[in-house]
Amino acid sequence: MKKIFVIGAGLSSSDLIKYLLDNATALDWTVKVGDLSLELAKSKVNNHPKGIAVPFDINDNKQLKDAVAWADIIVSMLPAFMHPVVAKECVGQGKHMATASYVSDSMKALDAEAKQKGVTLLNELGVDPGIDHMSAMKVIDEIREKGGNLLGFISNTGGLVAPESDNNPWNYKFTWNPRNVVLAGQGVAQFIENGQLKFIPYHRLYSRARTYSVLNYGDFEMYPNRDSLQYCEIYNLKTIPTLIRGTLRKAGYCKAWNVFVQLGATDDTYKVPNSEDLTNRGFINSFLAYDPKLSVEEKIKCEIAEANDPVVFEKLRWLGVFEEKKVAISNASPAQILQKILEGKLLLEPNDKDMIVMQHIFDYEMDGMKFRRKSSMVIIGQDTVHTAMSITVGTPLAIAIKRVLTGDLKEKGVVIPTKPSVYLPILKELEEYGVKFIEEEEEIK
């Protein structure tokens, strides 16, 4: 009998826990789910005979020690900054651990000790990071194996609203942490394109968005992520002339979002004095020059070129940013105020479905010819519990956990899914859950 302890029963744990319980009888597992909210843990275990729901507080060191002592593998679905404390305890007690998050420096520091103790630390096994690594490496390894030379790799992912629930002028709803959406892109985007190192500062990121079409889902806009350059190392593409990773939004989003960026309304570095007294309209006006005659609407069209586009202006109006309505949030940064305003309009409704879109574009040359291969995945959520996000974050992680427990995944230390022995079986099983990539290839001139 193997014992799995899942810490955190939030939204993205639903399909992870479901997979583990669905396999628990056949594989003789016990699945304990701990959460600050016992109710939430119970709702995910749903009285399954092999499941146990318990109250769990990560700040209670005794609880953590006992959980690790009990389990064969610990799954941390906590916010990423909390993983290291779990990981340390696991390695200390010689137990395996799994997360969907990026490998942090403190996780990396445990690699040697984990290897020595025969412990596996699974990381980056969600959707992004996770499915992106696996699906990209599969094609990269295939192209290399047949003798192709990679010229370019562009990899784009977006968490969006499903077409059937897409009923607002932004073609966007929050399907993930709204705060991260408001702050998205801050810093500088660094990537390499045709051999040239490129930097895009935040204030020009959204105006330099590029358009891609994905299968029959229409046009999407992509803005580059901060971190593309490090993938030259991670994917062993050190001399590739073009490597860009980006975030996808539906066409038309970036020009409108850029209005907020240009205003300065996404700034999270200072607090607006007396923000509780502000109205939506007053908030927008605080970023526009004083004028004794012009209205806020007139000023925004004058000062921010994008707002002068009627389509963009309608998106802004629809959000209610020009309304004399109190923002009702105190001691808040512009980003926090904007988030509050957006949450009034862009939250998922009870019957809404979400969608994950991922597309890799590989350019390569072989036998004197050049080819472009696209590998695209679109997955739509089943409902508000089994969202596309939960399915794509939880399922690959759960499959990897199974493979650790069955002994099929033998790697020790810090593991991310960039090796065929790790990613191939997971990708194969993911297809049963609807997570599959459609490949298209054409010769390019």
239 is a contact residue toward a copy of itself (CB under 8 A):
no
Name residue 229's amino acid.
L
292 is a contact residue toward a copy of itself (CB under 8 A):
yes
Q: How far is the CB of 170 from a copy of itself (least distance, A)?
A: 22
Among 43, 286, 384, 418, binds a copy of itself (CB under 8 A): 286
CB 243 within 8 A of CB 231: yes
Interaction with a copy of itself in 304-343: which residues (CB under 8 A)?
Answer: 334
117 is a contact residue toward a copy of itself (CB under 8 A):
no
Instruction: Select 22 or 268, whichever has its Cβ closest to a copy of itself.
Output: 268
Stretch that binds a copy of itself, among 172-180, 192-200, 396-404, 431-439 (CB under 8 A): 192-200
26 is a contact residue toward a copy of itself (CB under 8 A):
no
Q: How far is the CB of 112 from a copy of itself (least distance, A)?
A: 28
Among 199, 343, 369, 406, binds a copy of itself (CB under 8 A): 199
Among 24, 97, 137, 272, binds a copy of itself (CB under 8 A): 272
By CB neighbour count within 10 A (0-12 exposed, 13-18 middle, 19+ buried), where does 419 fall? middle
Q: How far is the CB of 152 from a copy of itself (least distance, A)?
A: 11
263 is a contact residue toward a copy of itself (CB under 8 A):
yes
190 is a contact residue toward a copy of itself (CB under 8 A):
yes
Q: How far is the CB of 350 from a copy of itself (least distance, A)?
A: 37
350 is a contact residue toward a copy of itself (CB under 8 A):
no
262 is a contact residue toward a copy of itself (CB under 8 A):
yes
Among 172, 206, 287, 362, binds a copy of itself (CB under 8 A): 287
Stretch that binds a copy of itself, among 100-108, 287-295, 314-322, 412-420 (CB under 8 A): 287-295
Instruction: Select 19 or 287, whichever has its Cβ closest to a copy of itself.
Output: 287
Task: Show the tokens assigned to 131.
Answer: 């499915």
Q: How far is the CB of 139 from a copy of itself (least distance, A)?
A: 23
Among 79, 201, 218, 344, binds a copy of itself (CB under 8 A): 201
Instruction: Select 188 or 328, whichever has its Cβ closest to a copy of itself.
Output: 188
Binding site for a copy of itself (CB under 8 A): 187-188, 190, 193-194, 196-201, 203-204, 208, 229, 262-264, 267, 269-270, 272-273, 285-287, 289-290, 292, 303, 334
